[in-house]
Amino acid sequence: MSDRNESWLFEISSKRKWIDLNFKEIWRYRDLLVLFVKRDIVTVYKQTVLGPLWFFIQPLFTSVIFTLIFNKVASIETGIIPAFLFNLSGITAWNYFKVCLNGTAATFKANKGIFGKVYFPRFIVPLSKVISNLVKFGIQMLILAGFYLYYFYTLDEMATPDWNLLLVPAYVIIMAIYGLGLGMIVSTMTTKYRDVSILLGFAMQLLMYLSAVPYPIKALKEKVPEFAWVVDYNPLAHIVEGFRYALFSTDNLQFNWTIFGGIVALGIVLFLLGLVLFNRTEKTFIDTV
Amino acid sequence: MSKVILKAENISKQYRLGLVGLGTIRHDLNRFWHQIRGKEDPYLTIGAVNDRSAKASQDYVWALRDINFEVKQGEILGIIGKNGAGKSTLLKLLSRVTTPTTGVIKSRGRIASLLEVGTGFHPELTGRENIYLNGAILGMTRAEIRKKIDEIIDFSGCEMYIDTPTKRYSSGMTVRLGFAVAAHLEPDILVVDEVLAVGDAEFQKKAIGKMQDISTGEGRTVLFVSHNMGSVQSLCSRGIFLENGSIAYEGDIEDVVGKYLSMGKKNIHQSLAERTDRKGGELFRFTGCTVLDDKGAQVKDLISGNSYTFKLAFQCEKKTPGLRFRVAIYDTKGIIRVICNNEFSSHLLDVKDGTSEHIYCTIPKFPLPNGTYNIRLSCANSSGLIDDIEMAMEFDVVGSNFYGTGKQQKSPEGVLVQHSIEVR
List of domains in chain B: 111-262 (3.40.50.300), 278-400 (2.70.50.60)
B93 in reach of chain A (CB within 8 A): yes
pLDDT band for position B177 (50/70/90)?
Answer: confident
Query: What does the alpha-carbon distance between residue B252 and residue B241 come to, in Å, rounded to a whole number?
Result: 11
Tell me whether residues A14 and B106 touch, CB distance under 8 A.
no
Using the predicted structure, report yes or no on whether residue B195 has a pLDDT greater than 60: no
- Among the partner-chain residues B99, B125, B137, the one whose CB lies closest to the CB of A114 is B137
Using the predicted structure, report yes or no on whether residue A150 has a pLDDT greater than 70: yes
The pLDDT value recorded for residue B265 is 42
Best of A1, A4, A6, A8 to substitute, by most chain B Cβ atoms within 10 angstroms, is A8
Tell me whether residues B20 and A286 touch, CB distance under 8 A.
no
| Mode of pairing for the β-strands spanning B111-113 and B189-193 | parallel
Q: What is the distance in angstroms between the Cα of A195 and the nearest Cα belonging to chain B?
A: 11
Percentage of the residues of chain B whose pLDDT score is greater than 70: 83
Task: Identify the weakest region by mean pLDDT among A59-63, A96-100, B14-18, B130-134.
Answer: B14-18
Using the predicted structure, report yes or no on whether residue A88 has a pLDDT greater than 90: yes
pLDDT digits 0-9 by tens, A250-279: 877 888 888 899 999 999 999 999 998 888
Question: How far apart are the two ends of chain A, measured CA to CA in Å?
Answer: 42
Query: 3-class DSSP state for residue B116?
Result: coil
Query: What does the alpha-carbon distance between residue A284 and residue A12 come to, in Å, rounded to a whole number?
Result: 11
Secondary structure element (H or E) that encloses residue B128, with its range = helix B127-137
How large is the average pLDDT for residues B391-418? 84
Top pLDDT among B229 and B166 is at: B166
What CA–CA distances, in Å, run from A223 to A65, A83, A207?
A: 21, 18, 19
Tell me whether residues A118 and B97 touch, CB distance under 8 A.
yes
pLDDT band for position B201 (50/70/90)?
Answer: low
Q: What is the mean pLDDT of chain B?
A: 81
Which range among A69-83, A89-103, A159-173 has the greatest average pLDDT? A89-103
pLDDT band for position A100 (50/70/90)?
Answer: very high
Which range among A127-136, B82-91, B386-395 has the greatest average pLDDT? A127-136
The pLDDT value recorded for residue B269 is 45
Phi/psi zone of residue A75: left (φ > 0), alpha (ψ -120 to 50 degrees), beta? left
What CA–CA distances, in Å, run from A115 to A276, A284, B67?
A: 19, 10, 24
B4 in reach of chain A (CB within 8 A): yes
Q: What are phi and psi of A218, to 5 degrees?
A: -60, -40
pLDDT digits 0-9 by tens, A25-79: 888 889 999 999 988 888 877 777 777 788 888 889 999 999 999 888 888 888 8
Using the predicted structure, report yes or no on whether residue B66 has a pLDDT greater than 80: yes
Top pLDDT among A277 and A4 is at: A277
Query: Which residue type sits at B111?
Result: I
Using the predicted structure, report yes or no on whether residue A89 has a pLDDT greater than 90: yes
Using the predicted structure, report yes or no on whether residue A20 has a pLDDT greater than 80: no
DSSP of A112-170:
HHHHTT----TTHHHHHHHHHHHHHHHHHHHHHHHHHHHHHHH-SS-----GGGGHHHH
Number of residue pairs across A and B with CB atoms under 8 Å?
A: 111
Q: What is the mean pLDDT of chain A?
A: 86
Q: What's chain A's length in residues?
A: 289
- Among the partner-chain residues A8, A39, A119, the one whose CB lies closest to the CB of B108 is A8
Which range among A111-120, B80-89, B122-131 has the greatest average pLDDT? B122-131
- Among the partner-chain residues A3, A117, A285, the one whose CB lies closest to the CB of B115 is A117
Q: For B124, which residue in chain A has the nearest alpha carbon? A: A43
**DSSP state, residue A72:** I
Q: What is the distance in angstroms between the Cα of A118 and the nearest Cα belonging to chain B?
A: 6
Tell me whether residues A9 and B110 touch, CB distance under 8 A.
yes
Tell me whether residues A43 and B107 touch, CB distance under 8 A.
no
Top pLDDT among A18 and A7 is at: A7
Query: What does the alpha-carbon distance between residue A221 and residue A33 come to, in Å, rounded to a whole number?
Result: 44
The pLDDT value recorded for residue B264 is 43
How large is the average pLDDT for residues B8-18? 83
Which 37-66 residues of chain A touch chain B by CB within 8 A?
A: 39, 42-43, 46-47
Tell me the chain A residues in contact with residue B107 when contact means C-beta distances shorter than 8 Å.
Answer: 8-12
The answer, yes or no, to whether ipTM is higher than 0.85 is no
Question: How far apart are the two ends of chain B, measured CA to CA in Å?
Answer: 44
Using the predicted structure, report yes or no on whether residue B404 has a pLDDT greater than 70: yes
Tell me whether residues B92 and A286 touch, CB distance under 8 A.
yes
Q: For A122, which residue in chain B has the nearest alpha carbon? A: B97
What CA–CA distances, in Å, run from B269 to B156, B313, B353, B395, B411?
A: 50, 10, 21, 12, 29
The pLDDT value recorded for residue B56 is 58
B369 in reach of chain A (CB within 8 A): no
Task: Identify the weakest region by mean pLDDT among A48-62, B212-226, B231-245.
Answer: B212-226
Using the predicted structure, report yes or no on whether residue B372 has a pLDDT greater than 60: yes
B102 in reach of chain A (CB within 8 A): yes
